[in-house]
Amino acid sequence: MFKRKTEKTEMAFGKIPAYCRYELFMERYRSGAEFIEKYSIRTKGKDRKILDVGCGEGYMKYFFDGSPDLEWHGVEQWDERRELCKTLGYRVYNLDINKESLPFESGTFDIVIASHVIEHLSNLEFAVGEMDRILKPGGLLLIAVPTKIPPFPFLINLYFKFRNFKIGETQNAFSVWSIQSRMKELLGESKYVTIDIRG
C-alpha cells in the first residue's frame, strides 16, 4: 500500500523544495545550472542579467542563491507562478512570447534560459527571434527541451498539426538532432556556436 505525499518536505539536489531528494523532474534545473556555470565564464562580472523565459516556479534560481551579481528577470503567463517568482526575487513579466515582443532593449541580457518552453510555443520563429534580439553578443542562450527518439517527433508533430491547443500544451516534439537543426535554422548558423548538446 502506498500513500502519496502532500507536501514537499525534501530538498531536491539540496536546493529545490521537492517530494524526494533526487526527483528526476528537477534534474533539468541542476544540469542547466551546471551548464551555465561552466559556459558563462565570458559573461561573469558585475550585475549579470538573466532572463528565464517560462520561469515557472523559479527552480533554476535556487541553484544561484547567494550570487548577488545576478539580476533575474522572468517571463511567465500563469498568475500563481508569476507571484511565486516575485517572492524569489525575479522581476516577472506577463506576456505571450508567441506574439508579444520582450519589453527590453536589444542586447540587454548576458544569459537567456528557455528550459522546457519552446515545445509549448506556436510561433517559434518570433519567440526565438526575440530571445536572440535581447541577448548580448557573446551571451549564453540555453534552450532545453524534452527529446524523443526518431521517428516519434515526426509522427507527434504530424498529429499536432490537426489539434487546437490551449496555453501551456505541448505543440512541438523534438529529437536531439531535430532541435539542433531547428535552432540553427532559426538563429542562423553563422551567428551562434553550439557548445553543448545533451540528450
For residue 104, the SS3 value is coil
Distance of alpha carbon 3 from alpha carbon 90, whole angstroms: 35
Distance of alpha carbon 144 from alpha carbon 119, whole angstroms: 9
CB 40 within 8 A of CB 110: yes
pLDDT at 42: 54
Burial per residue of 143-169, b for 16 or more beta-carbon CB atoms within 10 angstroms, e otherwise? bbbebbeeeebeeeeeeeeeeeeeeee
pLDDT band at 141 (very low <50, low <70, confident <90, very high): very high
pLDDT at 152: 80
H helices within the chain, ranges in order? Answer: 27-39, 59-62, 79-87, 124-134, 152-160, 176-187
Distance of alpha carbon 8 from alpha carbon 62, whole angstroms: 15
| Cα–Cα distances in angstroms (integers) from residue 185 to residues 47, 80, 149, 178, 189, in the given order | 32, 34, 20, 10, 7
Q: Which domains are seen in the chain, by residue range?
A: 27-187 (3.40.50.150)
pLDDT at 127: 96
Q: pLDDT per residue over 26-53, tens digit each?
A: 888 999 999 888 887 555 666 799 999 9
Distance of alpha carbon 86 from alpha carbon 52, whole angstroms: 13
Q: pLDDT per residue over 88-106, tens digit each?
A: 999 999 999 999 999 999 9
What is the rounded (10 degree) CA torsion for 59, 107, 132, 129? 110
CB 36 within 8 A of CB 142: yes
41-55, 84-98, 108-122, 178-192 — which is least confidently predicted? 41-55
Distance of alpha carbon 129 from alpha carbon 82, whole angstroms: 23
- Mean pLDDT of all residues in the chain? 87
How many CB atoms neighbour CB 6 within 10 A? 7
The stretch 43-67 carries a mean pLDDT of 87
Q: pLDDT per residue over 17-32, tens digit each?
A: 888 887 787 888 999 9
Distance of alpha carbon 167 from alpha carbon 96, whole angstroms: 9
